């Protein structure tokens, strides 16, 4: 066997990992056994390597490698760590335990189905089901939970980072603009129409103000979206790129949502500078046009509205994608076994 020097991207990742604190030799070996997955350059030679080749990638100074490349290099071991937990944690069919209870008074009084951007609705549905408030029931009302379209679109991307394979945010938003559509999870008129065709328009109601939702559902309060930054989404996304090949989709979702998400939530406060995912300035006008069209379609369709329909227009509160340096810092903490 010929001697092999690992690629600069793996060595630099290891150097950064060592800088976070003592690292077990087994972790070092595990990392050196990996290489960046999928497409993209790798096995990069080091500047100063004495082996001269007239071909292959140019030698690099590892300290100049981008955080994006290092995060990609980290993704295989991070995915393998999650897969290891799958072998010890019994697999549940659902993401959360569904408590079967007798029909409660609230359930009889407020039969519901909650739809819309899953990034917003999933935590609420989880909580309601934990309380025994299952969706459905006699004559249930369908609540379509909406919000500023830039946030709803970001939510569609964020949800996919934990549930499927998805492009980086800046490419996703660029492609959405090229396609002229954010996709089904951010198309509220389409969601409302789908339900209206099944249960009748009079049972579909649009909620643009989430503060009104507890009253509509007969509860005191409801949770907001998961406390996950843009960078944590990016970490989940790159791990998902590996998991989508290594395991089937349901297991991937379970690993990312049940195992990775709580760890990321604990890490968030340790790394200041968290960003929210936002639409870049160059796409804002297009998003605004889309949002006006959605608002007008919902108003013209005559659904009952809870909240000002102008709340569907973009908020512009965030205008950036993930900070790749912070995403790498989160990944290094995960690699180092923290928390």
Contacting residues toward another protein, per CB under 8 A:
1-2, 4, 6-7, 33-43, 53-58, 76, 165, 175, 178-180, 241-242, 244-249
Distance of closest approach, residue 62 Cβ to another protein, in angstroms: 14
Closest to another protein by CB, 7 vs 146, is: 7
Distance of closest approach, residue 5 Cβ to another protein, in angstroms: 9
Closest to another protein by CB, 50 vs 221, is: 50
Closest to another protein by CB, 80 vs 129, is: 80
Distance of closest approach, residue 89 Cβ to another protein, in angstroms: 19
Closest to another protein by CB, 44 vs 144, is: 44
Closest to another protein by CB, 76 vs 120, is: 76
Distance of closest approach, residue 59 Cβ to another protein, in angstroms: 11
Distance of closest approach, residue 55 Cβ to another protein, in angstroms: 5
Closest to another protein by CB, 4 vs 105, is: 4
Distance of closest approach, residue 48 Cβ to another protein, in angstroms: 18
Closest to another protein by CB, 165 vs 311, is: 165
| CA distance to 78, 235, 254, per residue, from 249 (Å) | 17, 18, 9
Distance of closest approach, residue 241 Cβ to another protein, in angstroms: 6
């Amino acid at each position: 066997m010929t001697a092999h020097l690992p690629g600069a991207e793996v060595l630099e990742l290891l150097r950064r990992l060592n800088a976070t604190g003592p690292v077990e030799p087994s972790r070092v070996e595990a990392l050196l056994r990996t290489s960046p997955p999928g497409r993209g350059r790798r096995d990069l030679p080091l500047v100063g390597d004495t082996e001269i080749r007239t071909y292959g990638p140019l030698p690099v100074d590892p300290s100049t490698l981008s955080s994006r490349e290092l995060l990609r290099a980290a993704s295989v071991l991070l995915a393998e760590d999650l897969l290891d937990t799958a072998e010890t944690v019994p697999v549940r069919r659902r993401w959360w335990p569904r408590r079967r209870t007798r029909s409660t008074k609230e359930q009889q009084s407020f039969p519901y189905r909650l739809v819309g951007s899953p990034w917003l609705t999933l935590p609420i549905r989880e909580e309601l089901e934990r309380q025994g408030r299952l969706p459905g029931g006699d004559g249930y009302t369908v609540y379509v939970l909406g919000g500023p379209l830039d946030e709803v679109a970001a939510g569609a991307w964020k949800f996919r980072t934990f549930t499927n394979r998805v492009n980086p945010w800046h490419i996703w938003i660029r492609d959405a603009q090229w396609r002229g559509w954010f996709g089904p999870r951010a198309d509220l008129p389409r969601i409302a129409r789908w339900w209206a065709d099944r249960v009748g328009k009079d049972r579909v109601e649009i909620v643009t103000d989430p503060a009104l939702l507890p009253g509509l559902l007969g509860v005191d309060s409801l949770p907001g979206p998961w406390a996950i930054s843009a960078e944590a989404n990016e970490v989940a996304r790159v791990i998902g790129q590996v998991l989508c090949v290594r395991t089937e989709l349901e297991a991937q979702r379970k690993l990312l949502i049940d195992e990775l998400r709580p760890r990321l939530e604990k890490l968030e406060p340790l790394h200041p500078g968290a960003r929210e995912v936002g639409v870049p300035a160059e796409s804002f006008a297009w998003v605004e046009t889309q949002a006006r069209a959605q608002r007008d379609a919902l108003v013209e369709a005559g659904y009952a509205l809870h909240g000002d329909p102008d709340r569907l227009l973009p908020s512009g509160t965030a205008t950036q994608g993930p900070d790749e340096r912070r995403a790498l810092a989160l990944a290094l903490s995960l690699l180092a076994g923290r928390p």
